Amino acid sequence: MATFTILFWVKRNKIKNGKAPLYARVTVNGKRSEIAVHRDVPILQWDNTSQTLLGKTAEAKEINNHLAIIKAKLLNCQSKLEARNVTITAKTLKLEYVGVVERKRMLVEIIQQHNNDIKTLIGHDYSKATWVKYETTKKHIVEFLKWKYSTTDIELKKLNFEFITDFEFYLKSQKNIDVNTNAKYIKNVKKIIKDCVAKSWLEKDPFLAYKIKTKKTERAFLNEFELQTIQEKEFTIERLAQIRDIFIFSCYTGLAYIDLFNLTPNNISLGIDGEKWIFTNRQKTETASRIPLLPKAIEILNKYTNHPEAIVRNKLLPVPTNQKTNAYLKEIATACNIHKELTFHVARHTFATTVTLTNGVPIETVSKMLGHTKLQTTQLYAKILDKKVSGDMQILRKKLQPLQQQVEIKTGS
C-alpha cells in the first residue's frame, strides 16, 4: 500500500515584497514531486501547521479555496491512476495532475532499439556475433510473451521477479535450453533492464533478488594422441586437408575462428626474441594477443603463403565461412575416428592444455597469449592433466629424496 501525502509550503528563498511563491509537495513512498500553486502569499500570514493563509481577507479566502481545490484534484488523480491500474508514484501523480500522459515504455520496443544501436556499431564497439545473440534473446522474449501473456509486448513497469523466473522456466520447459545457455539469455535481458533503471525508466530493478544459475561444464580439448592423429591423417579431399591445417594452426596458436579469419600478413612480425610472432587484437574482447609462433604453426603458414584465395583476400590463411568450416570439421572428426565435436573452441582449449600448460608454460603466459583480461578466465580453459601432475610430483619426489635419506640414516633404518 503506497503512502501518499500532500504538503503546501512557501519557497522562502524567493521572497519579494514580503511575499513568496507557494508549492504543493506530493510524496509517495518517500519520493517527492513539486507542483507550482501559482500563488504568492504573505509569508507572515502563512501557517505551516494548518497549511492555510491566516486571516479573513478576500485574498486569504481565495488562496485557501484554491489550495482545497488542488488537494481534491490530486486525490482524484490518485483514484484515476488506480482505476487504470497505473503504478502510483510522485511522478505519475504530478503528470496526471498537469495533464501530461507519460509515454508507456515497452520491453520489446526497448530491446529492439538496443539491438539497432548495436547493429549500427558493428565493427566499432561490437561484433556481429554480439548483435545476433541479442536478436536471439529478443526472439525468445517475444515468443515467451505470446506463450505466457498472449501478447506481443509488455509495459516495462510491469516487469517483476515473477516475470524473470517465468521466462527462465519457459526457456527450460518449452525451448529445452540448457542451464548455461539459459543464463546467457537472462544476462542479456538483465543488461538491458539495468540500462533502463539507470535512465530512470524503471524505479526498481526486478533482478535485485534474482540469482542467475549456471553449472560448471567440462570444456572439451584434444589429448596428445588425438592431436597427433589429426595432424598425421592423409586427406585426399583438398577442402578437408585445408580445414584440418587451419584447425591445427588454431591448436598451436589459441586463436578463435574470427581472429583467424581476420589475420593478414601484417599481423606477422618479429618478436622480442627475433622469432616470428602474431600481433593481433581479439575481436571478442578487443584485447591484444601476442603469440610466438611454434614450428608447426610456421610450417602451416609456409604451406599457404602463395594460396590464391589467401592472396586475393589479403589474408594469412584461406579460411572459409564459419558454417562451412564447422561442417568440414565434422567430416574430419569422423575420418579420424575422434568422438568429440571439433570446433575452434576445442582448438583453443587444446592450445591452453595439451600444447602449453601440460608442457610447463606458466598459466600467466598462456593467459596473455589467449588475450584474456582475467586469469580466472584462463583457468576455465586450462585443465591440469594427469601428465602435468605426474611430472610435477616427480620433481617433488627428487627434491624430497635427500631429506628422506637423512631421516633414514638418523633412525638407523
* pLDDT one-digit tens code per residue, 311-359: 888 888 898 888 888 899 999 999 999 998 899 989 988 998 888 888 8
Q: What is the CATH number of the domain that holds 283?
A: 1.10.443.10
pTM of model > 0.85: no
> What's the angle, vertex CA 72, arms to CA 68 and CA 75, rounded to 5?
140
Element containing residue 28 per DSSP (H, E): strand 19-28
Say yes or no: 336 and 252 in one domain: yes
Say yes or no: 136 and 272 in one domain: no
3-state secondary structure of 22: strand
Say yes or no: 24 and 51 in one domain: yes
pLDDT at 85: 80
3-state secondary structure of 382: coil
Inside any domain, residue 389: no
Question: How many whole angstroms separate alpha carbon 80 and alpha carbon 337?
Answer: 71
More confident residue, 373 or 211: 211
Q: Which domain holds residue 118?
A: 107-198
Question: How many whole angstroms separate alpha carbon 108 and alpha carbon 105?
Answer: 9
Say yes or no: 376 and 238 in one domain: yes
Burial of 379 (0-12, 13-18, 19+ CB in 10 A): middle
Say yes or no: 184 and 248 in one domain: no
Choosing from 71, 98, 125, the residue where a domain stops is 98
Choosing from 54, 71, 98, the residue where a domain stops is 98
Say yes or no: 248 and 301 in one domain: yes
Cell numbers at residue 75, please?
486525490
For 169, 204, 249, 294, 316, the CA distances from 305, given in Å and listed in that order, are 52, 58, 14, 17, 7
Inside any domain, residue 87: yes
pLDDT at 412: 56
pLDDT at 123: 73
The candidate with the shortest Cα–Cα distance to 48, out of 12, 90, 94, is: 12
- The tally of domains found in the chain comes to 3
Inside any domain, residue 243: yes
Say yes or no: 57 and 118 in one domain: no
Q: Please, which pLDDT band fits residue 247 given cuts at 50, 70 and 90?
A: very high
Inside any domain, residue 388: no
CA gyration radius, the chain: 34
Say yes or no: 181 and 130 in one domain: yes
- Residue 377 in this model has a pLDDT that exceeds 70: no
Say yes or no: 152 and 229 in one domain: no
Inside any domain, residue 239: yes
Say yes or no: 263 and 378 in one domain: yes
Say yes or no: 40 and 183 in one domain: no
pLDDT at 392: 72
Say yes or no: 143 and 278 in one domain: no
Inside any domain, residue 398: no
